[in-house]
Amino acid sequence: MDIPQDIKNKFIVRNDYLDWINKETAIIAYLDLTNMFHWQDVLGWKFRIEDAVGQLFTFSNIKEIKVYYGLNERDRKNSEAFHNRIRKTGAALKTKPMKFIIKYINEGLFFQRRTMTLFDGPVKNKIQELIDELQKSGIIIEEPKCNFDVEMAMDMLDDAEKLTAVLLFSGDSDLLEPLERLKVKGKKIGIVGVRGRVASELYDIKDKYIDFGKFYTGKRAYISENPAL
């Protein structure tokens, strides 16, 4: 039997999260989906965007939901199919083509500089041997990039007169400035994120922090450490 979402909210979501959301009269939610997908590594499970948006729409005072996610023109068919899934939820999708950035194979690709200082000589030599072999192989590593900080900032400022609170699903410190401007206008700031993935600047400016893992009530696909599974 499917449990109605409002019942899930009442008995699964932390009461202080519900209290903060329900006391606002007009909330607009902004979802940086690429940023959110990185949360899955921390959570140990994958979420469904349909369930996340559907849960938000059960709150009558969340007036709009805006999702930001790029278009992969190298796999246009699957990318557009995913975009259609987002649009069917009723959320407004903002998109643009992804760019692919070539990543150079060096120790910085695998370890932070401070981490390298913890290794002794023999370990560093092994790491360098691995890097040398990868460089000889001719492998090219490309990382997709599609940053929506500017678009999100402009949307939040444009929406300022029709909202009493922002619910931001992102941990990116680049969004601090528009949030500061909204704060000056008396708007409340809700930051949704996961442990270790929210910039300290956003945590400092927030009126309420919501742990996504303790808020989301939708289906979860758990990530197994066993590749056979």
CATH, residue 65: 3.40.50.1010
> pTM here?
0.83
- Does residue 135 share a domain with residue 113? yes
- Do 85 and 180 belong to one domain? yes
- Same domain for 193 and 88? yes
User: What is the mean predicted confidence (pLDDT) over 111-120?
Assistant: 81
Q: What is the mean pLDDT of residues 108-112?
A: 73
Higher pLDDT, 157 or 101: 157
Question: What number is the average pLDDT over the span 165-187?
Answer: 97
Q: Does one domain contain both 13 and 86?
A: yes
Whether residue 229 is contained in a domain is answered as no
Which residues neighbour 44 within 8 Å (Cβ) at sequence distance 6 or greater? Answer: 222, 223
Same domain, 121 and 188: no
Euclidean distance between CA atoms 148 and 67, whole angstroms: 10
156 located within any domain: yes
Both 69 and 152 in one domain: the answer is yes
Q: Which of 109, 142, 175 is the last residue of a domain?
A: 142
pLDDT at 65 over 90: yes
48 pLDDT more than 90: yes
Q: Residue 60: inside a domain, yes or no?
A: yes
| Confidence bin at 54 (pLDDT 50/70/90) | very high
What is the span of the domain harbouring residue 21?
5-97+147-222
Q: Are residues 186 and 90 in the same domain?
A: yes
Of 142, 170, 204, the last residue of a domain is 142
Assess if residue 212 is contained within a domain.
Answer: yes
Average pLDDT of every residue of the chain: 91
User: Could you report the per-residue pLDDT of 211-229, keeping only the tens digit for each?
Assistant: 999 999 999 999 865 444 4
- Asked if the structure places residue 168 within a domain, the reply is yes
Do 71 and 165 sit in the same domain of this protein?
yes
Amino acid 227: pLDDT: 46
Is residue 205 one of the residues assigned to a domain? yes
- Rounded Cα–Cα distance for residues 51 and 69 (Å): 17
How many domains does the chain contain in total? 2
Same domain, 71 and 127: no
Are residues 196 and 92 part of one domain? yes
Q: Do 11 and 105 belong together in one domain?
A: no
Q: Is residue 227 part of a domain?
A: no
| pLDDT per residue as tens digits for the range 77-106 | 999 999 999 999 999 999 999 987 777 777
Whether residues 123 and 88 share a domain: the answer is: no
**Which residues lie closer than 8 Å to 102 by C-beta, 6 or more apart?**
140, 141, 142
d(CA 81, CA 49): 13
